Structure formats: structure tokens, C-alpha cells
Amino acid sequence: MEVDTIVQDGVGEDGPPAHAERRIDRVLLLVAMEAEALPMVERLGLVKDETLIAPPASCVTYISQDGRICLTYYGKCPNTGMCSVGTVPAALYTYLAVQAFKPDLVISTGTAGGFRARGAAIGDVFVASATVNHDRRIAIPGFDAYGIGKLQCVAAPRMRKDLGLKFGCCSSGNSLDWHDTDMKLMLEHEAAVKEMEAASVAWVSSMFGTPLMCVKAITDIVDGDQPAHEEFLTNLAAAAEAMQGVVPRVVTYVMGKQIKDLY
């Protein structure tokens, strides 16, 4: 399969938005790692909250003083002390945070790999057209689609244009690297972005009927020649800074608008 076409802004959107009339008065930001979350917490002036989500959940929650912005990051794994990356904590903490905060819009944000063939460079920020899974292969009719779990996101073409953000499919898997079989699935779904959480955030958000936007900053090039873990560690701080700039602008942009105003 060839992936030499750069996806142009607006191409690949699936017509009019779902939840078009929904007014965005409460926004939930979901982030995997503390290093990604804390710069945004500071820039947005959020305050730690210890009442919204009770233990033993080890996620960490911050709220704005007006109560309209909530940020939850997935906290430390109680067994290893590492940041709880991957689809499992993402699903669990999305459920608990959406249940408790009742947002009008969920935004899954953080760092990601980007496909050079789809126009990604380090430090870029992408908005997702849809989320898929590339590591859930189940070759039984019906289960194959469940495994991929493709779900449309709030593509927000007007917002992307106004804020200068890139666009493409976001593919999630539980490994930082990729295997040939992962790559085959990512190419089939024309992935522009590869990360480790969004598809499970999407699955849980869809369960609540809450629209999801994904905003991902590129730390490493998936179809480049450096191993993901090396580029990731080198560029994490730069990408966190890009997010610190963009995510508050996204939140300000969407707040008080209807979903259709983003189109």
C-alpha cells in the first residue's frame, strides 16, 4: 500500500458532525503522563481535586476555578510506580472521569508518533479524524471490526484552520514500537498519528454518548529511521511545550460553542 499522499486539510472528513447541536460548556482533558499534564495544568491555572474520583483509582485530577475545565491524567501504576500509559488505564480513567465530571466534550491529548508520509514533523499538533486500534487482530467476522474499533472524532475543520493544526487518523496500540503486522494495519487505516490511548478513550466516550476530540503533539516519526523510544525521550519536553501552547487555545476556542460551530 502506498502512503505517499499528504492528507490535505479537510480531506477525509465524513460529512456533517455528530452531536452538531451540543453546546460545549464543560471540557474534560485526558492525558496519560504527568510530564504531559503538568505544563497544561499550570498554563490553564487548574487546581488539584481529590473528591471527584475516589481511590483506589490512581489517576490525578485538576479542575478550573469556574468548574468548567477538568484535566485527568492516569497517574502512577500502583505496582511499578510508572506512568499508567496504554489503553487499559485510559479506558478505566476515562470512564471514571466522564462519569464524575459529565463533560460536554472529551479531549484526549498528549504526545504521539507521526507519519512523515502523512505530513507529520516533530512538534506538529494533529487533530484526529477517527481512532482505530492496530493491535487487536481478531479474525472472526464481526469481531474483526470490534477489534479495529474505528470511531469518528470531532474533526473540527474550522478550528483546525483557525489554529493551524494538522489532521489525520489516530491509531492506538499498547506498544511504543511497532511490528510489521501493526504497520500493515496502520497503513490500511491511513494513520497519520500513532499513540497508546485514544482508541480506548473513544470507546468509553462513545458509551456515554460524549463527543471526543483528539489533539496530539508529535514526538517521533513512525516511518523514520530512529527507534521510537529514543526520539520520544529526546522530544518529550518539546512536544509537551507545543501542547502547553496549543491545548489552552483549543479549550478557549471550543468553550461556549456548539459542535457545529467547529465545522
- Cα dihedral sign for 45, 66, 89, 94? negative
Residue 110 parent element (H or E)? strand 105-114
- First-last CA distance in the chain: 31
Is residue 250 within 8 A of residue 215, CB to CB? The reply is yes
Measure the CA–CA gap between 75 and 149, rounded to whole angstroms: 25
Kindly state the number of chain residues that form the binding site for its own copies, as judged by CB under 8 A: 53
Is residue 112 within 8 A of residue 194, CB to CB? The reply is yes
Smallest separation (angstroms) from its own copies to the CB of 21: 20
Interface with its own copies, residue 188, by CB under 8 A: no
Binding segment (CB under 8 A) for its own copies, from list 13-21, 24-32, 120-128, 174-182: 174-182
Binding segment (CB under 8 A) for its own copies, from list 12-20, 52-60, 100-108, 254-262: 52-60
Interface with its own copies, residue 51, by CB under 8 A: no
Smallest separation (angstroms) from its own copies to the CB of 12: 20
Q: Which is nearer to its own copies, 165 or 235 (CB)?
A: 235
Interface with its own copies, residue 142, by CB under 8 A: yes
Interface with its own copies, residue 245, by CB under 8 A: no
Contact with its own copies (CB under 8 A) among 227, 237, 241, 256: 227
Residue 47 parent element (H or E)? strand 47-49
Query: Nine-digit cell at 163?
Result: 489554529
Interface with its own copies, residue 92, by CB under 8 A: yes
3-state secondary structure at position 199: helix
Cell 508518533 sits at which residue? 113
Smallest separation (angstroms) from its own copies to the CB of 261: 26
CA–CA distances in Å: residue 199 to residues 122, 150, 227, 244: 22, 8, 23, 23
3-state secondary structure at position 235: helix
Active-site residue flag, 220: yes
Active-site residue flag, 25: no
Query: What's CA 177's distance to the chain center, in Å?
Result: 18
Residue tagged active-site, from 197, 220, 223, 231 = 220
Interface with its own copies, residue 12, by CB under 8 A: no
- Residues 194-213: x where in contact with its own copies by CB under 8 A, - otherwise, as a string: ------x--xx-xxxx----
Q: Which is nearer to its own copies, 67 or 209 (CB)?
A: 209
Measure the CA–CA gap between 96 and 98, rounded to whole angstroms: 6
In 3D space, the residue among 126, 130, 110 whose CA is nearest the CA of residue 118 turns out to be 126
Interface with its own copies, residue 229, by CB under 8 A: yes
Binding segment (CB under 8 A) for its own copies, from list 9-17, 116-124, 146-154, 247-255: 146-154
- Active-site residue list: 36, 220
Residues that bind its own copies (CB under 8 A): 56-58, 77-89, 91-92, 95-96, 133, 135-140, 142-143, 145-147, 149, 151, 173-177, 179-181, 200, 203-204, 206-209, 227, 229, 232-233
